[in-house]
Amino acid sequence: MDPSIQKRVQELHDKLNQYNYEYHVLDQPSVPDSEYDQLLNELKEIEQQYPELITEDSPTQRVGGAVLEQFSKVEHRTPMLSLGNAFNEADLRDFDRKVRQAVGDNIAYSCELKIDGLAVSLRYENGVFMQGATRGDGSVGEDITANLKTIRSIPLRLKNPLSIEVRGEAFMPKSSFVKLNEEKEKREEAAFANPRNAAAGSLRQLDPRIAASRNLDIFLYGIGDPGETGINSQSEGMQLLNENGLKTNPERKTCGTIEEVIDYVNSWVEKRAELQYDIDGIVIKVDSLSQQEELGFTAKSPRWAIAYKFPAEEVITILHDIELSIGRTGVLTPTAILEPVRVAGTTVQRASLHNEDLIREKDIRLGDHVIVKKAGDIIPEVVSVITDRRTGDEKEFTMPTHCPACDSELERLEGEVALRCLNPKCPAQIQEGLTHFVSRNAMNIDGLGEKVIAQLFKENLIEDVADLYRLTKEQLIQLERMGEKSVENLLTAIEASKKNSMEKLLFGLGIRHVGAKAAKTISEHFRSIDKLREATVDDLLQIDEIGNKMADAIVTYFENEEVQELIEELRENGVNLTYTGPKKERMESVESAFTGKTIVLTGKLAQLTRDEAKEKIELLGGKVTGSVSKKTDLLVAGEDAGSKLTKAQDLNITIWDEQQLIDEITKQEV
C-alpha cells in the first residue's frame, strides 16, 4: 500500500475530528458543512477501497453496523451512586452544616446544572473510546457503546492517550424533541412524553441507526476514579475533561460559601426556561477530592454532594376515585385516580395520598378539584383541595377496617401513621414480594413480570419465592400467552438465577431498610446467608453504613421461623446462598505493613495493574484511597507520579516505589 494513502487517512481523521469538536462541542464551526461532508466522503471511499484502514475511532464509524440481539451487562469499576436531594434553602444549609462539621470551614463547592437525561459512563483506553454503559442499578449497567458512538459530541479519540472512565448525562435537545414528536405524529405513533424519556428510549434501541437519527447530545460531569488522574478537585477534573475534547456544561460555578451556592441556585430557577435542554435542578459537590474522601459515602449516596431539585410544578385536575393497595410490607396505600393532566412534562393519572391521616387532614373527597404537584422523578402527589369549586356532589371517603386482599383486620402500629395488614399469608403482600424478588436488581428472572406472577398466583402454582424453583414446563404451558419458547426461556432464566451471588438473594428477600447497595456490603462481609443468620445487632453495627434500624430489621427477619424454613427450601432447590463476588476478605491472621493503614497509589505501575495492587493491599488489611491527605499513611509512587507525590512529600508521608510494594506483598504470600 502506498504510504501516502495511510498519511492521507490520518490527515482526514485529524481534520474531521477537529471540525466535529468545533461544531458539536464548542458550537463554533470553522468550515461550512459542505467541506466537512466532502472530507468525510473522501475518507469513506478510501476505507471502501482499503478496509484494513478502518479503525474503531474513525469518523466514519459513528453509526454501527449490525442490529444487536440484546445489551450485554457492564460492571462499573467504581459504582455510579445516586445523590441525596435538597428541596429548599433549609436543606442546602443543613448539607453545608454537616460538611463543615466533618471537614472544617475551609471549603468550596462546585455547582453544576442537573441535566434531565440518562446517566452514562464512557471508558477510554489509551485515548480511544472503548465502551459506554448506562447507569443501571449503580453497580451494573448495559453496554450501549454502539448507540453512544452516534452522539457526535462524544469524541472517539481523546486529545491525549488517557485511560480513563468518565461519567455524564446524555440528553435530547428541545429542538430534537419537537422534531421527533412531529415525525411521530405524521406516522400516527404515540409521542414521547418528555425529552428525558425520548433520550433514554433512543439509547436503549438495539438498532444504532435509530439513535443516530435522533440528534442526541451529552455533557460530561465527572471521572469514575479521579485518583488515577493526578487532579485534586472537581473543578480541576472538569478542566481535564475539556482539555481532552470532552464536552462539559459551561454554566458551572465554584462557590466559596453556601450563600453563593443559594444565589447560584436561585438564579437558575427562572433562567432554566431559556436553555435549549431540560434541567431539573442543580448539583452541589464539595470541590476538594481529599475532603470528598474524608466525608465518604452512605450506603446509597456520597456525603459530599447533593442535588437541589427545582420547585415542583403544580396543576389543577379532578379526583375521581381513591384506589387501595397492599404493599409487600403490608402497608395499605391509598392512590388518587385523577382526570389525566399534563404536569412536569408527563401525563399524570394517579397521585400519592400517602395515608389516612393525610386524606382527613386535607379533607379530600371524591369529585374534588385538587392541586397536584410533581417535580422530576418524584411521584405526583395531591397538595390540596380547591373547596371553592365544590358543588355538593362530592363524596367523603372512608378507609376500610379490613384488608382489601385477605379481609384481615387492619392495624396501626405504635409510632406509625400507616394502616397495615399483619397477616403473613396475605396474598397481596406475597404477590408484591414475589414481584420484587424476581426484579432486575434482585434475582433478575427475565420473563417473570407482574402479569405472569399474578397468573401463577391465581392458578395456585406459587405461594412463596421457593415455589418459583419448583415450577415445571407442564404447569407453565397451561398459562395464557405462554408458548413453548416462552416457557423454555423462563425456566432457563429461573435456573440461571440459582447461581446469583448472595447479595441478589438478600435484596430479593425484601427485608425492611435493606437496599441493593447495603445487601452487597453485608454479603461481602458475612459471605453466606448462614453466617448472616447467626449475626447479632452488634455484629451488624460493626459494618460501615449499617445503622440501628437496618440491623434490627435483619436480626428480626431471620429470627422468624417461616423465614428459616424458606431459606432451607431455597437451599434444597439449589439456590446459591453464598457471596460469589470479588474476594475482599482480609487476611486477619496476617500482620503486614498495610494493616490498618491508608494507602494511595499514583503514577504508572509496571508489574501490577492498579486494580490488582488495590486488591492485594486490601487483602493484607490496608485501605486504598484516591487522594493524598493528612490521614494518608503511605504513598506508592509509580512512573510519572505527579502532584500526589509532591503533596505527600510536603506532608512528610512515607513514600514507596513499586518494588517495595511488590516485596511486601511477596513476603506475605510466601
Residues with active-site annotation: 114
d(C-alpha 192, C-alpha 224), whole Å: 31
Helix axes 3-24, 33-49, angle to 10 degrees: 140
Tell me if 307 sits within 8 A of 86, measured CB to CB: yes
306: Cα separation from own chain's centroid: 15
| Measured CA distances, 599 to 278, 342, 429, 604, 634 (Å) | 41, 53, 47, 16, 5
- 225 vs 602: CA distance, rounded Å: 12
Rounded Cα distance, 180 and 185, in Å: 9
DSSP helix/strand/coil, 96? helix
- Identify whether the C-beta of residue 507 lies closer than 8 Å to the C-beta of residue 516: yes
What is the C-alpha separation between 313 and 330, in angstroms, rounded? 31
Q: Report helix, strand or coil for 418.
A: coil
The one-letter code for the residue type at 313 is E
537 contacts 551 by C-beta, under 8 angstroms? yes
Give the chain's end-to-end CA distance (angstroms, integer). 54
Which of helix, strand or coil describes residue 274? helix
438 neighbors 448 (Cβ within 8 angstroms):
yes
What are the DSSP calls for 164-179, one per residue? EEEEEEEE--HHHHHH
Gap between the Cα atoms of 296 and 83, Å rounded = 13
Q: SS3 sequence, 498-555? A: CCCCHHHHHHHCCCCCCCHHHHHHHHHHHCEHHHHHCCCHHHHHCCCCCCHHHHHHHH
Helical H runs in 149-213? 174-186, 195-203, 208-212
Rg (CA), the chain: 28
Distance separating alpha carbons of residues 286 and 301, to the nearest angstrom: 14
Determine the 3-state secondary structure of 428 from DSSP: helix
Cell 457526535 belongs to residue? 152
196 phi/psi in degrees, rounded to 5: -65, -50
Q: Which residues contact 617 (CB under 8 A, 6 or more apart)?
A: 594, 599, 624, 665
